[in-house]
Structure 1
Amino acid sequence: MSKNKLGRIVIVGAGPGGLTLARILQLHGVEVKVYERESSIDARPQGGTLDLHVESGQYALQIAGLFDKFQTLCRPEGQDTRIIDKSGTVHYEEVSNEMCFDRPEIDRHDLRQLLFQSLKADIIAQGHNLQSIQSLSNGQHKLVFDDGVTDTADLVIGADGAWSRIRPLVSSAVPQYCGVMIVEIQFTEVDDRHPEIAKLVGRGTLFALSDNKGLIGQRNGHNRIRVYITLRVPENWVAESRIAFDQPEQVRDDLLHLFADWDNSLLNFIRFCDANFIPRPLYMLPINHRWETQQGVTLLGDAAHLMSPFAGEGVNLAMLDATELALAIINADDLKQAIHNYEQKMFSRAAKAADESATNLDLCISPGNAAKLMAELFKKMMESGPSNDKENFVTR
């Protein structure tokens, strides 16, 4: 299909997946419009660090012509891993080779900024929250945004995350609670203000796991560390527990009580973190989520295959989805068939990653000494030879 026959293409969502798709289409001269709910890329914190895999996230950046810039931003030393239990006993430790770029880390903000700046200024419309989308009789879709802006597209791609407004056009599936809640905390200027925390986490990721709980610390760029306080609790735990998350010192005391029998060095994560506690329940779509191909609409990333972050695959799958979808669009003779082929491949790899994610979550946040179980699995993988599978136990 020639480029002038593709019609109007609209992407909803300017996360890494949506931006990767827009970048590759732009490189091939395909006109595209991206609508983003947030008013700017710095409208809110962008989350923590991401490990980009050779076969997916890094491949996407190569196709997007941004790999060299990525290498100047990423942190290969961030692949370091340490697994301990609540007493502080080390069950597994791996120090990465700084010249190994299998899964280097990059802050989500830095990755999104890299992609954002690679696009022409008029491609992204920020501050546009999708209010509704309507299927038209000719296969097009009409989009209405809450600021009164409307658009009509021949192809709409939902890259709009967990609670996608585009998903209902192709699927009735809705995200379900995974059984685990994360309370996100962070340390700024950590090397200077909290050297003991910096030493404990090191250059990469620390997993402290026991008794259906976890403290997962990750080194970020810009002298920061994020910690994910992880709890197996009911979905309505925040309301039922009556923890006032708008009162940081009360939250601090309540969380210290929940981890009262953990080693003092680990309790310092809660004692000394910045005064900002963000509860995040984890949700997932059905492991084998799929749909029948529809005219003029498809999904990528979390909109298509939301899973818990315990496979380390979220952003990598989104960027690979974006790359394969972009190439399918560019080379299509029959656009609907090209999208169908893209979806079938995406369904297969997403199902595998979602299954791994669910298994990993149940291993990491489990009764007893989960750190020992996790370490034993890592050691078996290492004994059986080089494997990328062990890298899937990383929260993202």
Structure 2
Amino acid sequence: MTTDITIIGAGLGGLALARVLHVHGIPATIYEAEPSPTARTQGGMLDIHDYNGQPALKAAGLFDAFLGLVHEGGQASRVLDKDATVLRDEPDDGTGGRPEVHRGELRRILLDSLPAGTIQWGRKATGIRPLGGGRHEVTFADGTTVTTGLLVGADGAWSRVRPLLSDAQPEYVGISFIETYLSDADTRHPASARAVGDGALFALAPGKGILAHREPGAVLHTYVALAKPQEWLAGIDFGRADEATARVAAEFDGWAPELTALITDGDTAPVPRAVNALPIGHRWDRVPGVTLLGDAAHLMSPFAGEGANLALYDGAELGNAIAAHPDDIEAALTAYEEALFPRSADAAAEAARNHELCFDDDAPHSFIALFTAHEQAG
């Protein structure tokens, strides 16, 4: 392998790519804008699927380490209405194919599996220039540059690499999340802890919902979902935590107190997250020396639970394709993208359908019907 490989972004997909390449004896360098691996928290729980995320971790030689991170009981799920009536309750019996792990811990085992120096921290890409012949020059915020024979955009929703391939930009899908946390929940918030149960909670109504996960250490991580225009979210001053909390909680007036406490009793300031997506079926023509993976390639609504799984799988599949064609990068990228486009289009379409069913006029019953349909199909 003589082509130098540059990966922009040290998220799960970029790390999986670098790790699979390392397994095959192929070096790569990751450039990450954040100053260190601990610069920010890494989100909540992820369900890692047995048909994409788990095979990726096997290809990376990290499956046993992954099993050591699994949150016992985390595959449990329940659907409630606004009165906290349990409409569906699925315990974790150990036979499911989507064990839950914490994103930060999963990222840690990937980081720890790479040789020292693989990741260059504090290197924010600010510009990219094609040089011809499949080579590119990347400029960083500190004024330094690198040139590379293979450039991989693993840099998320607002990718700096994507414009080399596509004019597509993420667009708001009509739903915003507001994140909150309750700590020591079993002791300090027992009613809310009982409502959430051992795994995931979906308390839904038309146009809104309270979604929560139980995390290790008796932490309840809540995503309040509201079908609101972006202007509504922008009109809330989240710098004033009490006022923001009150505005969000007002949307759930009349809901059961054990559910609204997930909003009002948060131990941290509420954090807004507008949900954006690329067009379903996003693809591009082959451009020599550059490709995308993960959210940079196919950012989608989160309601299929595929984002992290596809990022891991993309990284592993690209790594395997490069290893299979070490002397022909274009053949590797062609093979990778031919498989990437249909699988990401299918996942994005499923995510969009699920999104609609979560919050349509028949919610939460439409969401329960979705569970039933998946069981019958499986």
Same fold (TM over 0.5): yes
- Residue among 338, 345, 363 paired with 2:357: 363
Distance 1:10 1:31 in 2: 10
Partner amino acid for 1:202?
Answer: G
Query: What does residue range 229-240 of structure 1 map to in structure 2 within 5 Å?
Result: 229-239=224-234
- Residue among 16, 22, 25 paired with 2:12: 16
Partner residue, 1:271: 264
Note if contact 2:48-2:54 (Cα within 8 Å) is conserved in structure 1: yes
- CA distances 1:272-310 after superposition (whole Å, capped 9, x unpaired): 111311111101101010001110000000000000110
Q: Is 216-225 or 353-362 further displaced after alignment?
A: 216-225
SS for the counterpart of 2:51 is helix
SS for the counterpart of 1:186 is strand
Partner amino acid for 1:313?
Answer: E
- Residue among 140, 149, 156 paired with 1:161: 156
- Residue among 327, 338, 343 paired with 1:344: 338
| Corresponding position: 1:103 with 2:78 | no
Distance 1:221 1:142 in 2: 43
| Corresponding position: 1:126 with 2:121 | yes
| Corresponding position: 1:116 with 2:103 | no
State the 1:93 CA deviation.
Answer: 1.2
Structure 2 unmatched ranges of 5 or more: none
- CA distances 1:257-285 after superposition (whole Å, capped 9, x unpaired): 11112122211111211131111110110
Distance 2:39 2:184 in 1: 21
SS for the counterpart of 2:74 is helix
Distance 1:38 1:190 in 2: 31
Partner amino acid for 1:60?
Answer: A
SS for the counterpart of 1:320 is helix
- The count of aligned residue pairs is 377
Distance 1:110 1:342 in 2: 28
- Residue among 127, 131, 136 paired with 1:136: 131
Q: Which of structure 1's runs of 4+ aligned residues deviate more than 6 A?
A: none
Partner residue, 2:81: 85
Partner amino acid for 2:219?
Answer: R
State the 1:101 CA deviation.
Answer: 5.4
Distance 2:238 2:248 in 1: 11
State the 1:91 CA deviation.
Answer: 1.6
Q: Is 210-219 or 87-96 further displaced after alignment?
A: 87-96
Partner amino acid for 2:82?
Answer: K
Distance 2:96 2:253 in 1: 39
Partner amino acid for 1:129?
Answer: K
Identity of aligned residues (%): 44
SS for the counterpart of 1:183 is strand
Query: What does residue range 235-384 of structure 1 map to in structure 2 within 5 Å?
Result: 235-239=230-234, 242-332=235-325, 333-367=327-361, 369-382=362-375, 384=376
Provide the TM-score with structure 1 as the length reference: 0.92
- CA distances 1:66-119 after superposition (whole Å, capped 9, x unpaired): 111111111252111101111222221111213x35110011100001100111
State the 1:193 CA deviation.
Answer: 2.4
Partner residue, 1:392: none
Partner residue, 1:393: none
State the 1:192 CA deviation.
Answer: 3.1
Query: What does residue range 33-48 of structure 1 map to in structure 2 within 5 Å?
Result: 33-48=29-44
Distance 1:90 1:192 in 2: 22
Structure 1 unmatched ranges of 5 or more: 388-396
